[in-house]
A and B are shown apart, each in its own frame.
Chain A
Amino acid sequence: MSEPTSGQRPLLEVESLHKSFGGITALDGVTFEVKSGTLTGLIGPNGAGKSTTFNAIGGILQPDSGTIRFSGEEITGESPDRIAGKGLVRTFQISREFRNMTVIENMMIAPTNQRGESALQSVTPGLREDVSEQEERIFERAWEMLELFDIDHLALENAGALSGGQRKLLELARALMLDPELLLLDEPFAGVNPTLEKTLIDRVETLRDEGHTFLLVEHDMDMIMDHCERVIVMHQGDTLLTGTPEEVQSEERVVEAYLGGSGV
């Protein structure tokens, strides 16, 4: 696995994030980088602050202090939709599909800059034809993506009726409809059966090779060790260390953190 060229600016730079909730410190100086074109793992015992970090990066949570830069641009405190619009897209730990919408609608809602998101264009005769033209293209892409993820047979089902694993697939596929530069995946394989997990990770690796970047929270150590180039370890709201899987594995502090933390 080749190291990304040094000297190139990291895609995501997180610097000393702090966040506390009424006296309880959730983030205590989180600092790390994600380099472009990598699959980076973010690990740590339960309560280490991984999801809180994701929420801060995604803009759902305002950090008390610290900075987040994406492609060199500071995005700290921006609204979630603007952050996503810049190409930094996240999925949720518990998948957040639109339950009362069909799978295909879940996919088609995602792309940005849809002409039909203007009420006027959607209604006015003449302009609506342009909307429909774009809709055809969005549908084609959505369909391809569904085929890629092997859930095209579910296209007309309500997303709420899907199994846990299928929902994970849908959420990943939906996020990819945005063509993100960096995708934050919060436990994308939780509750997914091993065969499906294999499929998912293959997709992620293919996309990585095509130039997408991934930051991945995962509990399955083997998965992280086998597939990630870089691993960030968090403990008690802070980044413990960053390194290659080999470096992390040989580090005693990591073992301690886990044993002392939740006993994984």
Chain B
Amino acid sequence: MSVPEDPVADRLPDSLAVYWESDVVKIGATLAAVYLLYVVAGFLLGYGLSGQLNSLRRLTFLIVLYSIGALVVNLHWGYSGLFNIGVVGFMAVGVYTTTILTRPVAGQTPTGTLPGLGLPLPIAIVGGVLAAALVGYVAALPSLRLRDDYFAIVTLAFAEIIRITAKASELQEFTVFGTTLGTGGGRGIRTFPNPVNQFFEGTGAPVVDAVSGTVDGSLVAGWAFVLVLTGVLVCVLWMIVRLAGSPFGRVLKGIRDDEEATTALAKDTNSFKIRAFIIGSGILGFLGIIWQGSQGYISPGLFVPQLTFFIWIAVIIGGAGSNTGSIIGSILFVGTIYLGPGYVRRLIEEFVSLSGRAATFPDALAALAGGDVSGILLYTLDQTSALRVVLTGVLLIWLLKRRPDGLFGNRREMASSIDVESRVRDRQSSDATTGGEE
């Protein structure tokens, strides 16, 4: 059995490398390292307890959400070879559907807000997930016989059509069959209240009061929501691990290796691909609901291709084909490239006294020509959001060239609902002993 190269395991002493084998340890250690980094950064920035907790809350929030997205991309790409670069479109369908379903009915609406169908949130969430799955079906059904790069173009075009539709002023508010509803168009739409926040405003208020002496009370609801999301992540992971470790996942693996050979084994490969695609699309719909939906307000600008690209890079960092890799990739992506530049900027601002201001690049260049480095530095610090994307692109190209299997290699996860490996080893070792006696 070939052991894929792993930069961490290679550098650890054998006694520790054994533990690194375990997925939980791997994820835990990576997370702990990133946490430590942020605590140190927070300390240097003079954050108090509340500040530290809030900084870690934001970090964890994003890690969990990116992980869910990465797990889906891994299900689509890593397991089934479906090149979906329209991730963000399915998220948009999920959250827009849920929002429109929950908005109060016209007439009951407080003035100035868009009416909807007035359904309770749980039903609306189911509706959002189903809508995303349905759009996944519509996108995948005709496209499966296309070459994989055409499939990619189709998924991207789908996502853009969805975004354009959400942005269209014609759908901002319209009446159909006597019901008035709308997407909010380019101006966006207010989403549903977050039930976790509502709980801590009502029944759970004593908890908030109890801690508000020591830390900022709003952290309670914030962290509680992060814990709920972590629960969601665990459920998604549990589901995908079971899917992958099953005859269903085995056929997907076969399709990815050689689709024609899989059909020669009497498998209706299209059916498997469609099902995998729909399951992933539904989860993405749910991701949109708990991510953008939980922020109180959505607009088409949130669902740009850049987000798809970020989720993809998390998968590629960890190595396509591995669920553990997808989660570790998400931790590393959020911890370094996504949030890192902002912290670096604050740290520099804290410890390096920079004078002056460069509003534009030519200003910065002019200052530089005059021998003043701080201008260009300041300008660069102001542009962290752009630099973050540039950095991601460079990292992506580097990874593809140097480590196409991701940082941790393409780890093999056996596709069966039973522990085939230990059964095989049992038989092989008993064969070996009987063979030795002869």
Contact = CB atoms under 8 A, between A and B. Distances in A.
Check A-B contact in the complex, CB < 8 A.
yes
Nearest to A174: B265
Interface string A33-63: 0000000000000000000000000111000
A157 B424 CA distance: 11
Interface in A115-163: 115-119, 122-123, 128, 131-132, 135-136, 139, 143, 152-153, 155-158, 161
B406 interface: no
A21 to B, nearest CB: 18
Interface in B54-88: none
B386 interface: no
Contacts of B363: none
Given A58-B264, A155-B428, A108 B420 contact: yes
B5 interface: no
A99 interface: yes
Interface string B1-24: 110000000000000000000000
B261 A122 contact: no
B247 A114 contact: yes
Given A100-B253, A116-B248, A131 B417 contact: yes
Contacts of B263: 59, 79-81, 84
B417 A85 contact: no
A24 B267 CA distance: 32
25 contacts: A59-B263, A80-B263, A81-B263, A81-B265, A81-B266, A91-B264, A96-B260, A98-B262, A105-B420, A108-B247, A109-B247, A109-B251, A109-B253, A116-B247, A122-B243, A122-B417, A128-B242, A131-B417, A135-B417, A136-B418, A153-B431, A156-B424, A158-B1, A174-B265, A178-B266
Across the A-B interface, give the 8 residue pairs with the lowest CB-CB distance, nearest first.
A116-B247, A122-B246, A84-B266, A96-B261, A98-B257, A85-B266, A80-B263, A114-B247
B279 interface: yes
Contacts of A143: 423-424, 427
B259 to A, nearest CB: 10
B264 A92 contact: yes
A102 interface: yes
A192 interface: no
Interface string B272-294: 10011001000000000000000
A112 B262 CA distance: 12
Interface of B: 1-2, 239, 242-243, 246-251, 253-254, 256-258, 260-269, 272, 275-276, 279, 410, 412, 414-418, 420-421, 423-425, 427-428, 431
A136 B279 CA distance: 27
Interface string A66-106: 00000000000001111011000111100011111110110
Given A60-B260, A117-B267, 4 more contacts: A60-B264, A99-B258, A119-B275, A143-B423
Contacts of A204: none
A158 B246 contact: no
Given A101-B253, A105-B253, A132-B417, A122 B248 contact: yes
B261 A98 contact: yes
Contacts of B417: 116, 122, 128, 131-132, 135
A156 B265 contact: no
A110 interface: yes
Contacts of B268: 79, 81-82
Q: Main secondary structure on chain B at its contact with chain A?
A: helix
A172 to B, nearest CB: 13
A136 B416 CA distance: 10
Contacts of B420: 104-105, 108, 139
Contact of B431 (A84, A136, A152, A156): A152
A31 B263 CA distance: 25
B7 to A, nearest CB: 21
A181 to B, nearest CB: 12
Contacts of B264: 58, 60, 80-81, 84, 89-92, 96
A116 B254 CA distance: 15
Contact of A135 (B242, B412, B418): B418
A101 B250 CA distance: 9
- Residue among A85, A92, A105 having the largest count of chain B Cβ atoms under 10 Å: A105
B410 to A, nearest CB: 8
Given A79-B263, A102-B414, A122 B258 contact: no
- Residue among B412, B415, B420 having the largest count of chain A Cβ atoms under 10 Å: B420
B242 A105 contact: no
Contacts of B262: 98, 109
Contacts of A157: 1
Contacts of A58: 264
A101 B269 contact: no
A260 to B, nearest CB: 33
- Residue among A97, A122, A175 having the largest count of chain B Cβ atoms under 10 Å: A122
Interface in A162-193: 174-175, 178
A128 B245 CA distance: 11
A152 B268 CA distance: 28
Contacts of B2: 158, 161
Contacts of A102: 412, 414
- Residue among A79, A81, A116, A153 having the largest count of chain B Cβ atoms under 10 Å: A116
A108 B279 contact: no
A101 B254 contact: yes
B243 A135 contact: no
B267 A135 contact: no
Contacts of A82: 266, 268
Given A109-B254, A116-B247, A122-B247, A135 B416 contact: yes
A152 B257 contact: no
A110 B247 contact: no
Contact of B428 (A115, A131, A152): A152
A79 B270 CA distance: 11
- Residue among B1, B267, B412, B414 having the largest count of chain A Cβ atoms under 10 Å: B267
A257 to B, nearest CB: 29
A156 B250 contact: no
B15 to A, nearest CB: 25
Contacts of A175: 265
